[in-house]
Amino acid sequence: MAGISQRQRELTDLLKKAAESYYAKDMEIMSNFEYDELYDELVKLEEDSGITLAGSPTVNVGYAAVDALPKQAHEQAMLSLDKTKDREMLRDWLNGETGLLSWKMDGLTVVLTYDDGALTQAVTRGNGEIGEVITNNARTFINLPLHIPYKGHLTLRGEAVISYSDFEQINEEIEAKALAENNPGELGYKNPRNLCSGSVRQLNSAVTARRRVQFYAFALVEAAGVDMHNSHAGEFEFLRAQGFDVVEYHKVTSATILDEIQRYEDKISTFDLPSDGLVLLLDDIRYGASLGRTAKFPRNAIAFKWQDEQKETTLRGIEWSASRTGLINPVAIFDPVDLEGTSVKRASLHNISICRQLKLGLGDKLVVYKANMIIPQIARNLTESDTLVIPYTCPVCGEPTKIRNDNGSESLYCPNPDCAAKKVKSFALFVSRNAMNIDGLSEMSLEKLIGAGLIHEFADIFKLNTHRAVIENMDGFGEKSYEKLVTSIRTASNTTPERVLCALGIPGVGVNGAKLLCRAYKGDLNAIRSADETALSEIDGIGPVMADAIVTWFADETNSTRFDRLLECLTIDSSAFENAGEGHLPLEGKTFVITGSVNHFKNRSELKNLIESLGGKATGSVSKKTDYLINNDVNSGSSKNRKARELGVPILSEEDFLSLTGVTKED
């Protein structure tokens, strides 16, 4: 026997650090792709040497619980799952048994306990033996039942997750808040998993509540006195009957599993919840238990990770993109390659640490892939020239940059408060589709106009027609470009109050918040400006944090003065909100949830806009507050349909909805 090698020692230490960073600090020092490759290498080295070092990630699960939260030992150890990327191996693993194939959710695993029908405790997975108590935070999960019909002692496991759409909105809010508080370099979150982990393990549950965390049950641990008919599928349906959202699953056999895997794969590009693969669980409870476990893995379940399609390409450049918070994000630009059916030529590098770890240099040969078949990533650098120069000055304002260390991860940012990039991002939000909707003003165009001294504040955009000669002679412009731009600005000047509010960049006030405010104040922007924090926070859906941000923004003398000058440039139509709150609108006070495809509308957003214009509210999940669920497949067995039936919520087709409102297709 050769004994332990230096490489095995290095990998054990490196992967321990990566796991600690990922699980305990919500940071990443390497990609999931690289971690999996190094992990598999370590497993092989341990098998060859017959030696496993203490602390090896092949025998330890999760992370050490942090000191800030109370600790709790799990009644039953929480094991990891063995994994494979081989579909045929997954089929053979079934060995003639029936299995349950489900999403492997990518969030934070939580163990819940209910007694006498009430939630009594929530604990994170931690290291599999000891987790962190997060009961008060779990009470804020948006789809978690606090009281259930079953009155015995119930323990279950599930995944806390944040959807991709919520993740994007929350990161925008973080950036907006950082900008308002003059906190340059404030980082958003790299992915929904990191955001969820940081949100769930908060000392202040109010923070968790703002993050729109969802919970999906994937295992029943204990429910005394309930006959599950020796079936994990029976356990899932029992949990569903208690009001839990259960991870999507399908029964499979050796004959059907390959087709079912393909169906999951086809859903990935439009699936809004983060997932890093699938889980295959034997349905027969007693048989699965009889198989026992290894030191780390149970033998009744296995994880499947997608076999990432990889392509070689050449690094042509690094785009250093300055954000409005000052953070300068590196983006790799490479020769286009086809991955998972689309052409890819860019991949975010996230921070300086990852650039250095990859040892990048222009002209290097890269291997690229799509993480979870969605997000372009660099798997490895085959050349490793390590010649990349980190910018010493901001690419926009030319002022010296700084490197900031956040929990061991280095990021580049511009500390100059007057950097034009920070203004560019604010103006880009102002002219965006959901705000003032001004075509022809890309960030590149805005940067040129700001750099030329033509735009200093929002109102200046509506006065660009006074600078015709200057604009027509600017690089990238011309007579036709100028005419199109001025026409677009003129069109945008006739607008609605919610667009104006959304465009201002008030922290937390996006499309939905702006509509809620305009509905409450009948579209009167000056009334919103004059409202105090107490009045604003009483509006359903606003709350004290957003109310404070609104009051603070308008209390700033510069903001208020510039707002007045902006209003002078606009013609605002508030008619859609004039009857709000008086019962004159047909859907006043009604809450809808939309699911599935639509036939009479371009998309679900168009249907949502109609509901809101008629005084209603559209939310993402079915609850006791929901008045109607809109689903053209009225009789489907989807989770939202089942939840609606359990709560007695009527399920409407589009035709039913149009009949209810009196709106015709032509309207």
The residues annotated as belonging to the active site are 104
> Token digits for 600?
């009479």
CA atoms of 220 and 228, how far apart (whole Å): 10
Contact (Cβ atoms closer than 8 angstroms) between residue 485 and residue 440: yes
Q: Helices (DSSP H) in 3-99: which residue ranges?
A: 6-24, 32-49, 87-94
CA atoms of 588 and 9, how far apart (whole Å): 65
> Token digits for 224?
């005394």
Contact (Cβ atoms closer than 8 angstroms) between residue 378 and residue 358: yes
In sign, the C-alpha dihedral spanning 456, 462, 467, 472 is positive
Task: Quote the DSSP letter at residue 500.
Answer: H
Bridge partners (DSSP) of residue 405 are 410
Bridge partners (DSSP) of residue 23 are none
Q: Given the structure tokens 């400006």, which residue do they identify?
A: 529
CA atoms of 268 and 309, how far apart (whole Å): 15
CA atoms of 153 and 120, how far apart (whole Å): 10
Contact (Cβ atoms closer than 8 angstroms) between residue 69 and residue 132: yes
Spell out the SS3 assignment of 338-351. EECCEEEEEEECCC
Q: Is 406 exposed, middle or buried (CB count within 10 Å of its CB: 0-12, 13-18, 19+)?
A: middle
* Distances, alpha carbon 292 to alpha carbons 81, 288, 444, in Å: 13, 8, 60
